[in-house]
Amino acid sequence: MAAPESFPVVTRFAPSPTGRLHLGHAFSALLNARFAAGHGGRFLLRIEDIDATRCRAELVEGIFEDLGWLGLKWEEPVRRQSAHMADYRAALDRLSAMGLLYPCFCTRKDIAAEVARSGAAPHGPDGPLYPGLCKRLPAEEQEARIASGAPYALRLHVDRALGLTGPLTWEDAEAGEVAADPASLGDVVLARKETPASYHLAVTVDDALQGITHIIRGQDLFHATHIHRLLQALLQLPTPRYHHHALLTDETGQRLAKRAGSPSLADLRQQGWTREDVFRRLGLWP
């Protein structure tokens, strides 16, 4: 990814402490740190720990330990998303004032039943798109249900949002100029009772607040950028350059992932791997 000389490069690695880091994380972290170093820029680490139902505080220490073992150095203080809820709340309030959010009272079961009933629900990268049940609720009913204490999520009214922004694009190191297609993800959830800011919202707000100029992350997050680009336009935030890198695979072509039983960096270390072994496995020079 080219960066003009006068452009102060700022990259970040932004893991969620939901498990120990594995080789895929090491690859992303190293690409970010090296890109920053190669351009005389800054490398930041951010802990994405908003989802209290999945994140575990003790895993944060493991992240520091693993990255330190790889020889990485990052700026302090490390931003922890859970300490910045007011920033995400402010962004939600702005979107709400623009008439772009609506409360959704559906359970997973309600959504699955509606998708099954309609027979031909459009699908996105994460499964069937939200079928819009609560989008059609009259305002009085929304208010009555909120007043009754019913739990609800806040969804982004994607069509209305796109009506405000018009067509959007982003620059991607591998894919070139990409036409953003946020509607392909449907009316995404931006907040819920137990997670008052979604990944999409928090990541977009933080990348802007921290002045991130280049986002280097796995191809598995490519689709999320459609929504991030829309949120940037709505919240008048700058658009970083993106590089969605290929995901690491094992000898059989299977994607390395915790779910697939891939060993963590801590496991590899215990098995006697050195950090040079990791670099070799990743095809990077030490």
Q: Is 16 in the site for ligand GLU (CB under 6 A)?
A: yes
What is the smallest separation between the CB atom of 146 and ligand GLU, expressed in angstroms? 30
Residues pairing with 214 in the sheet: 241
Smaller CB separation from ligand GLU, 112 or 247: 247
Which of these, 280, 210, 278, 268, lies nearest to 47 by C-alpha position? 210
Q: Which one of 14, 111, 154, 248 is in contact with ligand GLU (CB under 6 A)? A: 14
Smaller CB separation from ligand GLU, 142 or 195: 195
What is the smallest separation between the CB atom of 249 and ligand GLU, expressed in angstroms? 18
Q: Which one of 15, 41, 132, 240 is in contact with ligand GLU (CB under 6 A)? A: 15
Is residue 275 packed enough to be buried (19+ CB in 10 Å), middle (13-18) or exposed (0-12)? middle
Integer Cα distance of 70 and 32 in angstroms = 13
Integer Cα distance of 27 and 18 in angstroms = 18
What is the smallest separation between the CB atom of 214 and ligand GLU, expressed in angstroms? 12
> Scanning residues 193 to 222, which ones bind ligand GLU (CB under 6 A)?
203, 217, 221
DSSP 97-115: HTT-EEEE---HHHHHHHH
* DSSP code of residue 135: G
Q: Is 49 in the site for ligand GLU (CB under 6 A)?
A: no
Is residue 108 packed enough to be buried (19+ CB in 10 Å), middle (13-18) or exposed (0-12)? exposed
Smaller CB separation from ligand GLU, 155 or 217: 217
Side-chain half-sphere exposure of 240, counting CA atoms within 13 A:
26
Give the three-class secondary structure for 64.
helix
Q: Which one of 30, 43, 45, 48 is in contact with ligand GLU (CB under 6 A)? A: 48
Find the part of the chain contacting ligand GLU (CB under 6 A) among 3-11, 12-20, 102-110, 128-136.
12-20
Find the part of the chain contacting ligand GLU (CB under 6 A) among 10-18, 121-129, 175-183, 242-250.
10-18
Smaller CB separation from ligand GLU, 157 or 245: 245
Is residue 193 within 8 A of residue 203, CB to CB? The reply is: no
> Scanning residues 219 to 238, which ones bind ligand GLU (CB under 6 A)?
221
Is residue 156 packed enough to be buried (19+ CB in 10 Å), middle (13-18) or exposed (0-12)? buried
Contacts 24+ apart (CB under 8 A), 269-278: 269/69, 275/69, 275/70, 275/71, 278/23, 278/26, 278/70
> Scanning residues 78 to 137, which ones bind ligand GLU (CB under 6 A)?
none
Find the part of the chain contacting ligand GLU (CB under 6 A) among 8-16, 59-67, 105-113, 131-139.
8-16
What is the smallest separation between the CB atom of 15 and ligand GLU, expressed in angstroms? 5
Smaller CB separation from ligand GLU, 81 or 131: 81
Integer Cα distance of 192 and 105 in angstroms = 10
Q: Is 262 in the site for ligand GLU (CB under 6 A)?
A: no
Q: Is 30 in the site for ligand GLU (CB under 6 A)?
A: no
* Residues of this chain that bind ligand GLU (CB under 6 A): 14-16, 48, 203, 217, 221
